[in-house]
Amino acid sequence: MRTLGKIATNILLLFFLFTVPSTAEIKSLKIRSDNRPMILFEKFGFTHTGNVTVSISAVSVNSTAAPPDPSRLGFFLLSEESLIQVEIELQQNRSLCIVDSNFINLVFTFRDLSPPPQSSFHKSYAVTNPNEYSLFFANCNPQSLVTMDVRTELFNYDDGATKDYLSAGLTQLPSLYFIFSVIYLCFLGLWISVCFKNQRSVHRVHLLMGGLLTMKALNLICAAEDKHYVKVTGTPHGWDVLFYIFQFIRVVLLFTVIVLIGTGWSFLKPFLQEREKKVLMIVIPLQVLANVASIVIGETGPFIRDWVTWNQVFLLVDIICCCAIIFPIVWSIRSLRETSKTDGKAARNLAKLTLFRQFYIVVIGYLYFTRIVVFALKTIAAYRYQWVASAAEEIASLAFYLVMFYMFRPVEKNEYFVLDEEDEETAELALRDEEFEL
């Protein structure tokens, strides 16, 4: 009963709390003395020409209780639609092993293994019913420890012969990432042109912004190559390493640029206050931790014991960083409000306040969309349209970059540098009426 409860709980957690689409590249995994009743290996969207190939070797099962029953250990596929039926079935029959359920697609059990000392098996299973399935391993023998080497290969046949190792809903990603990489390269060329035309107004933060565009373009190129090679061959051929390197640099640069712009560094003042330095000293190490968690999640997959913990670490750190970068913008707005009461330059301060408030709204909108709306799209979108969430995230990111770079572009008549002083009285009234509270 206790084991079945754990099985049901694991299924629910994996499906509803951690709906992360898998690229399902060819993976070779090692399970060592594992007593978990359920292990999720892959989640994959199949077409009507899908195929699952599982190879296991060096298998051993040790039990401290009765000898383990090999028919109660095995691999199976489970669709999200069948989850509720399996849960009801387990509740009605407490002694039922999930590999005997009527609502799963059984690949094989350990009963099919060759006898020791080889203890190996190779099985290909054709998927003819299009759907998104998860590949599980079940162990219904209490107190038994399983050791084995596992090689999984999930794919769809494209045009009847070519293997496509990307899930049905992710097969468009290579083209999507390549298109956006070209857009960002054009964006970078335009930014360099603007900086050269307005060299007198270029500040150090503008150079960082150019570096951010470069890293974003390189990150997308590596993402496109990574997904292309996974799609065609099942392995990334090293492009995943470059992807994670540029991803790390890009994310750290993005949060750093937002913090520096939010503090007004090199625009309003050429220095950072102590509390602003502390924000940077918090955000950068947290981003390092978040990227490590992201790499662990992306490269290992849900089969590792601490996969759920790494997911929680990533989400927590990401939320902390998103909250931290808001504070410098709020501090700058409050500082400008205080300054506007004493320096006698109402029009200049009103323009700065308006700009910073707009930037605050843009940052909040970007964070809300990419963290909440995109996650909701990934959760509710049909498995064939999982690429839509990635497209929405890239479109939102591009829109954010365009707005931020336009607002803080290096032009001589920017709100920061040359402001019209004629309407001082109007500006003073506006500052008095609108307190710019957030």
pLDDT in tens, 74-120: 999 999 888 888 888 888 887 888 998 889 999 999 988 877 666 88
Residue 438 lies in a domain: no
In whole angstroms, give the CA distance from residue 38 to residue 8: 9
237 and 324 within one domain: yes
Final residue before a domain boundary, out of 111, 133, 164:
164
150 and 236 within one domain: no
pLDDT in tens, 146-178: 999 999 999 999 876 789 999 999 999 999 999
Final residue before a domain boundary, out of 112, 142, 164:
164
Residue 198 lies in a domain: yes
406 and 284 within one domain: yes
Residue 181's domain spans which residues? 173-433
178 and 100 within one domain: no
Residue 226 lies in a domain: yes
3-state secondary structure of 55: strand
What tokens appear for 330 in the block?
């709020």
Calculate helix-pair angle for 387-407, 204-233, nearest 10 degrees: 170
* Least confident window among 265-269, 280-284, 308-312, 313-317: 265-269
Complete DSSP assignment for 212-229 = HHHHHHHHHHHHHHHHHH
Residue 95 burial by Cβ neighbours in a 10 Å radius (0-12, 13-18, 19+) = exposed
Residue 149 lies in a domain: yes
Mean pLDDT for the stretch of residues 203-229 = 95
In whole angstroms, give the CA distance from residue 212 to residue 220: 12
The two most distant CA atoms of the chain are separated, in Å, by: 92
In whole angstroms, give the CA distance from residue 253 to residue 259: 10
274 and 418 within one domain: yes
* pTM of the full structure: 0.84
Residue 234 lies in a domain: yes
Q: Which amino acid is at 11?
A: I
State the pLDDT at residue 23.
Answer: 52
Final residue before a domain boundary, out of 164, 186, 201:
164
Structural domains counted in the chain: 2
Residue 1 has pLDDT above 90, yes or no: no
Report, in this order, helix, strand and coil percent for the chain, each rounded to 5. Answer: 55, 20, 25
Which of 164-173, 257-266, 334-343, 404-413 is modeled with the greatest confidence?
164-173
Query: Tell me, what DSSP letter sits at residue 151?
Result: E
Strands 121-127, 162-164: pairing is unpaired
217 and 76 within one domain: no
184 and 121 within one domain: no
186 and 68 within one domain: no
Q: How far is CA 134 from CA 56, 154, 335, 432, in A?
A: 18, 10, 53, 60
3-state secondary structure of 166: coil
pLDDT in tens, 386-431: 999 999 999 999 999 999 999 888 876 554 444 444 544 454 555 5
